[in-house]
Amino acid sequence: MIAMTNAPRLIAWELTAGCNLNCVHCRGASTSSVPADELTTDEAKHFIDEVAGLGKPILILSGGEPLTRSDVFEIARYGTDAGLRVVLATNGTLLTPEIVEKLKKAGVQRLSISIDGATAETHDNFRGMPGAFERTLAGIEVLRKADFPFQINTTVSKRNLEEIHKTFDLAKELGAVAYHVFFLVPTGRGEESDEVSPADYERILHWFYEMQKKSEIQLKATCAPHYFRIMRQQAKKEGIEISVKTHGYEAMTKGCLGGTGFCFVSSVGEVYPCGYLPVLAGKLREQPFREIWENSEVFAKLRNPEELKGKCGICEYKKVCAGCRARAYAATGDYLEEEPYCIYRPRKNGSDQDD
């Protein structure tokens, strides 16, 4: 029998690798210089047609800084017309009333704004530009005036770990509809020495679990697949059964979606499992997207939990967690190796977790 492949639920697209900032942690090591061979507007539209032919995922227009690309509104409109839910990820420093109006007209449904600390000092150090914090807050003010929904994204690292509670408070004060934390992945300019320790991961994710229970805004931990283990461990202790009613969207999804529900497309049309794992699945200029999504070797391996090695391979949580494949790759050169930032010791028999 031929196995059916589900269509992607979420695609992050690096519309451009160029950026007006120079963040210390940037996965794309983005700078003001733009590669000469970025996908053209026509190629971008063709890609959207291919995606829409497969399903109707959320399309995240990302970068680099997507607002530095002049055809961003045209591309967003095309995605919207193709029936995709188009959202855009920005550092927020370039937002003006005119730009926000154009994003609205293009049907963009939500923006994510990166704030990496509760103070200007922390954020600006992270973002490599004095004044970035103030400019981002000014951008958010423009969004608020236009009544445009936005979420705050924070990348957690040693540089801002102790400010995370305050950054969450700031996101709520600013009127964000959601707060998504990303845990630093050591790729591009991201450095391993800035990653929080496995024990701190555990501490922050337990805090996150508690916050999620009472938060009025949506909370999501990205690139922290351990969260899905912690959620189950805690729920079990509390005698709660995980369901959509008790845990919302988190009950239906799993830790790492790279290659199963998610993929990343670079500014030159290279397809990867995520923006942090430099293992190429295929190139849009050489193959149809459908073929890459359905047949590439790396996606096939990521779709099979039996391929996981080390302690992830014998872990009873492997189907809901799967570890961060990009961290495993950064640490060992093998993306199927065990997640290096997880303190959990799997049960010896590796039987399925029973909650």
Ligand X SMILES: C[C@H]1O[C@@H](n2cnc3c(N)ncnc32)[C@H](O)[C@@H]1O
Query: Per CB under 6 A, does 331 bind ligand HEM?
Result: no
Q: What angle, rounded to 10 degrees, do the helices at 41-54 and 72-81 form?
A: 20
Query: Per CB under 6 A, does 16 bind ligand X?
Result: no
CB 251 within 8 A of CB 243: yes
Query: Per CB under 6 A, does 20 bind ligand MET?
Result: no
Query: Per CB under 6 A, does 257 bind ligand HEM?
Result: yes
CB 181 within 8 A of CB 218: no
Query: Per CB under 6 A, does 156 bind ligand SF4?
Result: no
Query: Per CB under 6 A, does 22 bind ligand SF4?
Result: yes
With CB under 6 A as the contact rule, which of the stretches 21-29, 146-154, 259-267, 299-307 interacts with ligand SF4?
21-29
CB 167 within 8 A of CB 160: yes
Query: Per CB under 6 A, does 63 bind ligand MET?
Result: yes
Residue 101 φ/ψ, nearest 5 degrees: -60, -45
CA distance to 74, 163, 167, 229, per residue, from 160 (Å):
36, 5, 9, 24
Q: Which is nearer to ligand X, 184 or 281 (CB)?
A: 184
Query: Per CB under 6 A, does 89 bind ligand MET?
Result: yes
The footprint of ligand MET on this chain (CB under 6 A) covers a number of residues equal to: 11
| Distance, CA of 342 to CA of 225 (rounded, Å) | 9
- Please list, residue by residue across 16-38, b when 16 or more beta carbons sit within 10 angstroms of its beta carbon and e when fewer do: bbbbbbebbbbbbebbeebeeeb
Least Cβ distance, residue 145 to ligand X (angstroms): 23
Contacted entry of ligand MET, ligand X, ligand HEM, none for residue 190, CB cut-off 5 to 8 Å set by kind: ligand X
SS3 61: strand
Q: Taking the mean position of all CA atoms in its chain, how far away is CA 249?
A: 16
Give the residue from 270, 257, 199, 200 showing the smallest Cα distance to 228.
Answer: 257
| Distance, CA of 124 to CA of 134 (rounded, Å) | 9
Query: Per CB under 6 A, does 315 bind ligand X?
Result: no
- The bridge status of strand 262-265 relative to strand 270-272 is antiparallel
Least Cβ distance, residue 49 to ligand X (angstroms): 25
Alpha helices in 184-287, H assignment, sequence order: 198-214, 226-238, 244-247
- Residue list 248-287, contact with ligand X (CB under 6 A): 276
- Residue list 62-121, contact with ligand HEM (CB under 6 A): 62, 87, 89, 110, 112
Binder of ligand MET out of 11, 17, 26, 279 (CB under 6 A): 26
- Residue list 194-213, contact with ligand MET (CB under 6 A): none
Least Cβ distance, residue 326 to ligand SF4 (angstroms): 15
Interface ranges with ligand HEM (CB under 6 A) = 10, 12, 58, 60, 62, 87, 89, 110, 112, 151, 222-223, 257-258, 262, 264, 274-276
Interface ranges with ligand SF4 (CB under 6 A) = 19, 21-23, 26, 28, 30, 63-65, 91
Interface ranges with ligand MET (CB under 6 A) = 19, 26-28, 62-63, 65, 89-91, 114
